[in-house]
Amino acid sequence: MSSKDVDFNPIYILRAFFTGLGFDLTMGLLMLSLYGIYLLFLPKKWIGSLFDKSFTYFYLSLIFIIIYFSLLAEIPFWDEFGVRFNFIAVDYLIYTYEVVENINQSYPLPLIIAVLVGLIVLTFFLFKKFKIFKNTFSDKISIGKRASYIVPALILAGVLGLFMKNKQADFSNNLVVNELGKNGAFSFVTAFKSNELDYETFYPKLSDKAAYSTLKQSLLQNNQKYATSKYDDISRITKGDSTEQKPNIILIAIESFSAEFLTSFGNKQNLTPNYDKMANESIFFTNLFATGTRTVRGMEALTLCVPPTPGNSIVRRPNNQNLFSISTILKEKNYHPYFIYGGDGYFDNMNNFFGGQGFDIVDRDRGNPLSDEIKTKRYMIKDNEVSFENAWGICDEDLYKQSLKYADINAKAKKPFFQFVMTTSNHKPYTFPNGKIDLPQGDRDAAVKYTDYALGKFIADARKKPWFKNTVFVIVADHCASSAGKWEINIAKHHIPAIIYNLNQAPKKIDRLTSQIDLMPTLFGYLNWNYKTSLYGKDINQTKPGDERAFLGNYRTLGLLKNNLFTQIDDRKRVKQFNVSGADQSLSEVNFKNDDLVAETISYYQTASERFKNGKMKEK
């Protein structure tokens, strides 16, 4: 599947091969180190005993389980993410219920276990057939002679373990070649050890004053002024140009909803008739880009309106309560904010993040309580409110019924409400209620079509409600369906749709380059709100021509897209720039860098990282 993205430069292929050989040797030696220590100190009289045989077979079985399981698991992981194991795999280990259920619903689990056991049995059979164990339990050599074999191997394992770093495989601009040169198990261990990256240690920097000076020039909109003259205070006073409007707001984040699924962007399969129809009646963002490749990145972008800082999303980090977010602004406008999710919001720390920003929680609640410091309310989606559910949560139709339920409650109380509704149906295993659409279960296209069907039904049901006329719907993807491709960051794989529907405005297409972090500030602009903001997002309608930009990142590589130039920084303190061209937004590296864009890119990411690390993102 990734062959089309490989750069077949012979030098790159050779280097990937030998780099991979180095990682394989390192992991092999490290896996055998404990057994080597055991052999070194095993008394001679115990060699060949029942204990010796039991331990040997147990240890080898464990190693074979790790090798074969990682091999089998890497195939679907690569298919979905286009890379070796990374921090996503580490995250998934934490949430065993969702992951095990997803595997069980997506793949023939009994067959996988049978294949795994069969491979281990076959390996031992071949070992016996070719007499690999011929002298294993009978050669009672002295400890000194054993040391002459084992100690050098242990030293080599230690040296390679210290010397080999996963980033050594990232020698080219071609993602697939880089990933081919890695070892899955080694990549997993690396991700486990470094699930968060410190910007100051790993990334290119400016002085703090230079970074904030550059940032503050970039952030200021036409209708804003800074609240103070303090060099690192980015709070701005925003002025609306007419009477404020305060409609109810329902923000729907659709799982893995790439722009390429829409007829509006050239899709011929008619997967999204409802979304396409609504787009023609809405403020339609046609040139908008997600900040990342995971749901938590989309949540971060839409609520905190901040560039994607390196490492894990802020949603998953500790000490992320009471941050300045859209909730800060909404609560000042007397809105009641909800986070509505069809699974258990314990997954990816979503409940603690949203609860920490003052959202009431609506989720399945499988017995995972909120942190003690979270004081908001939590409402359980009951079994009798669910018609269909898979590993990730209830179907979109059932989820939207929860949205209607809490909208009704707030409307009766005459309280304006804001809902962040996170869907899950467009996620593997791609299952949904039968009889809804004309495509089979278990297919990505079918899941997209069902997702669109459920959205259309929701809007039709909402239209019957008395609160509908005074409710605005923001409908946007959290990220694309896939990010794999030729480059470290594939710009086209961040292109997502967004609409603002039922706004008291004439339909309009916004073709200007827009970041996911700009969506909510742009909505606030349409509502003519006066407010104080410390968000990095900007109202695209109050942004000077030529100042449009979009932020794109993955776990370790970050970038800024502006004026057909993509400036990229990474955790090896490298800075690269690329011309962006063509419908597929292909990249070609430039030799002479635009220093102003380099400074602007660094200023955004450096200050965002510094502000979170030092508590400057907290509400004041």
What would the 3-class secondary structure string for 77-123 be?
HHHHHCCCCCHHHHHHHHCHHHHHHHHHHHCCHHHHHHHHHHHHHHH
Q: How many distinct helices (H) and strands (E) make up the chain?
A: 18, 20
The verdict on 184 and 221 lying in the same domain is no
CA distances from 155 to 18, 26, 152 (A): 21, 11, 5
Structural domain count, the chain = 2
Interatomic CA distance for residues 443 and 432, integer angstroms: 11
Q: How many other C-beta atoms can be found within 10 angstroms of the C-beta atom of residue 197?
A: 18
Interatomic CA distance for residues 611 and 602, integer angstroms: 14
Q: Is 200 contained in some domain? A: no
Interatomic CA distance for residues 115 and 126, integer angstroms: 16
Q: Which of 203, 235, 164 is nearest to 557 (CA)?
A: 203
> What is the predicted pLDDT for the residue at 488?
83
The verdict on 336 and 215 lying in the same domain is yes
The verdict on 255 and 327 lying in the same domain is yes
The verdict on 184 and 232 lying in the same domain is no
The verdict on 216 and 114 lying in the same domain is no
Q: Is 619 contained in some domain? A: no
Q: State CA 468 to chain mean position distance.
A: 32
Q: Is 618 contained in some domain? A: no
The verdict on 167 and 277 lying in the same domain is no
Q: What share of the chain is helix, strand, coil (3-state, %, to 5)?
A: 45, 15, 40
> What is the predicted pLDDT for the residue at 111?
83
Q: Is 521 contained in some domain? A: yes
Q: Which two tokens stand for residue 350?
A: 């979503």
Q: Is 620 contained in some domain? A: no
Q: Is 202 contained in some domain? A: no
CATH number of 562's domain? 3.40.720.10
Q: Which of 90, 78, 71, 515 is nearest to 287 (CA)?
A: 515
> What is the predicted pLDDT for the residue at 184?
78
Q: State CA 338 to chain mean position distance.
A: 22
| Positions in the chain whose pLDDT score sits under 70 | 1-3, 80-82, 86-105, 191-197, 484-486
The verdict on 182 and 312 lying in the same domain is no
Among the candidates 161, 195, 229, a domain finishes at 195
Q: Which two tokens stand for residue 459?
A: 């809007």
Range of the domain at 90: 3-195
The verdict on 260 and 168 lying in the same domain is no
The verdict on 181 and 252 lying in the same domain is no
The verdict on 112 and 253 lying in the same domain is no
The verdict on 184 and 267 lying in the same domain is no
Q: Is 203 contained in some domain? A: no
Orientation of helix 184-193 relative to helix 87-94, angle to 10°: 70
The verdict on 241 and 100 lying in the same domain is no
Among the candidates 143, 164, 195, a domain finishes at 195
Q: State CA 85 to chain mean position distance.
A: 14
Among the candidates 170, 195, 220, a domain finishes at 195
